[in-house]
Structure 1
Amino acid sequence: MTNKVTKAIFPVAGLGTRFLPATKSVPKEIMTLVDRPLIQYAIDEARAAGITEFIFVTSRGKSALEDYFDRAPELEAAVQAKNKPELMDILDHTNMESGAIAYIRQHRPMGLGHAVWCARRLIGDEPFAVILPDDVIAAEKPCLQQMVEAYAERGGCMVATMEVPDDKVSAYGILDVEDPAETVLRVRGMVEKPQAKDAPSNLAVIGRYILTPSVLDTLDGLGQGAGGEIQLTDAIAAEIDGSSGVSALKFEGQRYDCGSKAGFLQATVAFGLSRPDLNGEFADYLTELVAARTGG
């Protein structure tokens, strides 16, 4: 029987340089997709999967991220004075209970593996999830919930995976698996950011993980990997020959890379069209825009 996953690490220390100048004053994770910041999508997904303890690995300049999950007395008073209970419900959903969130500083940008390692004392000897807020996944059943259900049967370490075009494999950790036709795959190997000619497959690891605490022990003695950073992929790969091994879940849903401008715009369109209160007017605008561009 596997232990229940109740803790999640959110690595949010990055500077977001691809979104300058916006990220000069606004943390990337607070950037808004329709009317919710990226971090809210990640938190909601974690809650749906049964996560009750949220660990943020931050850096300088992230105070707005911390404030977002705190109460806003002046704003709440103004909303209450206008008698708008639906807005109060929205505000209440963004508040976190005292003690539910912990903040850990990553003082130097040394990679995702190092960011996860920074939270080791709050993890202890329990399995834990890692969620990268840049990866926003639209799914009927949230991606991490799908993983938690698969993990309950498989155990060990588990990563979320999806197929990517050959010209994109060098941007991801890539898997070598036993049977690529399965939904839950047994992983034989992992390589970080290979060239297409050297890649064992086109199955990429995306920003959802369920990991055993032994990964933290591996990270403790791990040196620099690809890009001169401490790679989480390298530490997970060390678990492949362990007693429980490493699995990969082909999740159901659409992933958007909101760490890139193009991906963020794609997600904005997709999530806007999915909203009943927006899709009519927004769809009409997009139709007119496309017609004007194509001369239709």
Structure 2
Amino acid sequence: MRIRKAVITAASPSQRRLPLQNLIDRDGQERSVLGILLEEVVRARVEEICVVVCPGDAEHYALVTGDHAGRVRFVEQHEPRGYGHAIHCAREFTAGEPFLHLVSDHLYVNHTKASCATELIEVAELEDCSVSSVQATREGQLKQFGAVGGQRVAGRERLYKVDTVLEKPTPTEAEQRIVVPGLRSGHYLCFFGMHVLAPAVMTILEELLADPRTTTVSLSMALAELARRERFLALRMTQRRYDLGVRYGLLTAQLALGLSGRDRDEILSQMVELMALREMAAK
């Protein structure tokens, strides 16, 4: 398996403007969220990138692709049929190849030189199958993420063979169906927002979308079926994902980027000063 292509979804009404927001990256440069994501992908040696957008948004997105404009093409999602349908809109672009997939309303902050996408792709190419990145997540956040259950791969501390996929499970569902040995009590493996997907995923999405009983299709639905048909793994990430769509999400992501970059000391100094001023005002 060689991963040459990536698909970034940005067509959800709740996320369509987030990738256009500007943040200061770890090098101290002002850059759009989309630009930061493209850099993550390019560092993983991906050659071509497709961004799935709402009709009419491509022009706005093209303005913030920066140095990577030549690698990027845009595809519109004309029907609001769900996250899985948005990925399926890129089927002609992927053309039967495996691909890296990222959501556009998350940022990924690593603490090593290798990017999150690089680590995920290396595992997928080695294992020659679909691999979803996951993160140990507190029970109270289950309503925000899809989650998986399975068993640890022998000899691999952070790699799991997936047997169950649930979309935003309740705590009761999670406790009954996706407890993973070795995790702290009350924690579950939830999607990190980054996947390497085999061509079979596009086939499954097409089958789900063709079912007249189905109005919307999630990626979790396709991945649950994938786990039944072929080997599907999950890689627990040591890095962190930041959901930009939640309250203070952009602020939290900006702080995470800054504190992991060259301006760390300056940011810490400013935070201490703000706290001191707050304490003085309270007296």
Q: 1:265 aligns with which of 251, 260, 267?
A: 251
Distance 2:126 2:258 in 1: 36
Q: 1:41 aligns with which of 36, 45, 50?
A: 36
Is structure 2 residue 184 aligned with structure 1 residue 209?
Answer: no
Q: Report the Cα offset of residue 228 of structure 1.
A: 6.1
Q: Report the Cα offset of residue 274 of structure 1.
A: 3.4
Q: What does residue 128 of structure 2 align with? A: 155
For 1:109, what is the secondary structure of its paired residue?
coil
Q: Report the Cα offset of residue 123 of structure 1.
A: 1.1
Q: Report the Cα offset of residue 290 of structure 1.
A: 1.6
Asked if the contact 2:18/2:104 (under 8 Å) is kept, the reply is no
Map 1:1-296 to 2 at 5 A.
3-16=1-14, 27-34=17-24, 35-62=30-57, 63-69=59-65, 94-97=67-70, 100-139=71-110, 140=112, 141-179=114-152, 182-199=157-174, 200-201=178-179, 202-222=188-208, 229-243=216-230, 245-276=231-262, 278-294=263-279
Q: Report the Cα offset of residue 94 of structure 1.
A: 2.4
Q: Report the Cα offset of residue 294 of structure 1.
A: 4.2
Q: What does residue 89 of structure 1 align with? A: none
Distance 2:99 2:266 in 1: 42
Code of the residue aligned with 1:171 in structure 2: it is Q
Distance 1:192 1:241 in 2: 16
Asked if the contact 2:62/2:69 (under 8 Å) is kept, the reply is no
Code of the residue aligned with 2:90 in structure 1: it is A
Aligned CA-pair RMSD: 2.2
Distance 1:205 1:95 in 2: 27
Distance 2:87 2:139 in 1: 28
Q: Report the Cα offset of residue 133 of structure 1.
A: 2.2
Distance 2:251 2:220 in 1: 28
Asked if the contact 1:41/1:133 (under 8 Å) is kept, the reply is no
For 2:223, what is the secondary structure of its paired residue?
helix
Greater percentage in strand: 2
Consecutive unaligned residues in structure 1, runs of 5 or more: 18-22, 70-92
Distance 2:46 2:92 in 1: 18
Distance 1:110 1:241 in 2: 23
Asked if the contact 2:135/2:238 (under 8 Å) is kept, the reply is no
For 1:96, what is the secondary structure of its paired residue?
helix
> Kindly tell me: are residues 228 and 182 of structure 1, through their superposed partners in 2, closer, same or farther at Cα, counting changes over 3 Å?
farther
Consecutive unaligned residues in structure 2, runs of 5 or more: 25-29, 180-187
Q: Report the Cα offset of residue 95 of structure 1.
A: 4.2
Code of the residue aligned with 2:82 in structure 1: it is G
Asked if the contact 2:100/2:121 (under 8 Å) is kept, the reply is no
Percent of pairs identical after alignment? 24
Distance 1:257 1:60 in 2: 24
Asked if the contact 2:134/2:191 (under 8 Å) is kept, the reply is yes
Asked if the contact 1:15/1:28 (under 8 Å) is kept, the reply is no
For 2:104, what is the secondary structure of its paired residue?
coil
For 2:152, what is the secondary structure of its paired residue?
coil
Code of the residue aligned with 1:167 in structure 2: it is G
Larger CA Rg, structure 1 vs 2: 1
> Kindly tell me: are residues 15 and 61 of structure 1, through their superposed partners in 2, closer, same or farther at Cα, counting changes over 3 Å?
farther
Asked if the contact 1:183/1:250 (under 8 Å) is kept, the reply is yes
Distance 1:109 1:39 in 2: 22
Q: What does residue 27 of structure 2 align with? A: none
Asked if the contact 1:32/1:38 (under 8 Å) is kept, the reply is yes
